[in-house]
Amino acid sequence: MYAQICAFLQHPERFPFFDNPFLGITLCDHTGTVICVNKTHSLITGTSDWVGKNFHDLVRSGYVSESATLYIIETNKEVFLQQRLANNKNYLVHGYPIFDENNVLRYALSYLLDISKMHSMQEELENLRRKMVRLQSIEENKIVFQSRKMQEIVDSAQMIANSDATVLITGESGVGKEAIASLIHTYSPRKDNPFVKINCNAIPLTLLESELFGYEPGTFTGGSKQGRPGLLERADSGTLFFDEIGDMPPELQIKLLRVLQEREIRRLGGFRDIKIDVRVIAATNADLPALIRNKKFRQDLYYRLNVIPIALPPLRERREDIPTLISHFAGIFNEKYLKTKEFRPSAMEVLQRMPFEGNIRQLRNLVERLFLLSPRDAIEAGDVTRITSDAAAGKTAPEQPPGSLKTTLKSQERELLQSLYRQYASSYKIAALLGVNQSTIWRKLKKYGILSA
């Protein structure tokens, strides 16, 4: 390549590639001084006086935001980056180092492409994708996804909806178990009848039995004089959803088992059995087999509930759903707060790497926090890192030793930078992604030993 460049400089008319009508071409020497540019470069940038200028001066004056040439001089490596000029246009630059026969850097050759039109196309595609997300959200009963794992689960839920078989939905907190239960009910023949929810962990034991089975007049002091039907009666001909079934007290488990077997109940204080027609869906984030081994959950009830098992994966195992969910929540909060905010691709990339131990619930809360705390309509990667770091720093943990929070934050920062460097291998690209100075990223990469890792 070095010999070709030397030949080109002597006889440029013999090298028609330099007159490429689509790419702006720049050739610099090893100091960063521009030797020549082609006509397309001048047309794209709107200026023809680059020759003789040095990129150190161009960057220092603010005429150029990022320089592929300076990166090549600094690292002797090929580079692919975005560049903004003083005309406020963004460009895509691909730069190559040119070495002589002694492997000494002599030139830097770069190709420039105007991506302002590409951004317009991206915005059109993003708007179309948002519309598709809304349509899919409606079609799938508010379950927003694009991963194959969730598609298989939704397909299974729709397939079993026509039956009356009991369903047990398992998964971590916040993965959307209630949404799947609601989907099954919506696609079932019972869709026009009640969908009744009860959280076994939210109601005190003293009230849970009366809530489930109801009571006859005079059973309780202060109770209704007419008595009251329980949730099982109110769900008649419909669906009853038991959330956190693993927290149901053992003394009620045997009664629920009888309901599933006999399809009848008896109110508290009553003497007659009442026939009911209820489909039961249960959900839990607990390890029911472990509870069975510890005598905290009945094995026979488990088998009655686990006729059709559905296991929902955590968000970290279906990260391709994160951008889709973010777009969905963004639409909700734009309408709620009368905003027009959007997430830039750089912010999406940072969010996709977060662990989200609280799953969809945590993601929704974070999107709302970013909506309320980010100062601009375009939410960048820097907003995500700043706001999440502020939230982590604001947590108090008196049980931890002094300095442990700071250590945790450093560990999270190191993990993020390590992940980004593994993908991009460029401090320039990481800095552009996170919206900070390249020198800051370079120091942190050196500090955490990532560059030598």
Domain ranges of the chain: 2-114, 148-315, 321-447
Helix orientation angle between 427-434 and 345-352, rounded to the nearest 10 degrees: 100
Express each pLDDT in 311-343 by its tens digit.
999 999 999 999 999 999 998 898 888 889 999
CA dist 281 and 55 (Å) reads 66
> What does the alpha-carbon distance between residue 40 and residue 110 come to, in Å, rounded to a whole number?
13
The tokens describing 133, both together, are 């997300």
What does the pLDDT read at residue 414? 77
**Topology adopted by domain 148-315:** Rossmann fold (3.40.50)
pLDDT at 197 over 80: yes
CATH, domain range 321-447: 1.10.8.60
Q: Which pTM does this prediction carry?
A: 0.58
CATH of domain 2-114: 3.30.450.20
pLDDT in tens, 33-85: 999 998 888 888 887 788 999 999 988 888 888 888 999 999 999 888 888 88
- At residue 63, the pLDDT reads 85
| Predicted pLDDT of residue 119 | 58
Read off the pLDDT of residues 201-251 as tens digits, 9 standing for 90 and up: 877 766 788 889 988 888 766 667 788 898 999 999 999 999 999 999 888
Strand partners, 343: 379
Q: Indicate the pLDDT class of residue 407, thresholds 50, 70 and 90.
A: low
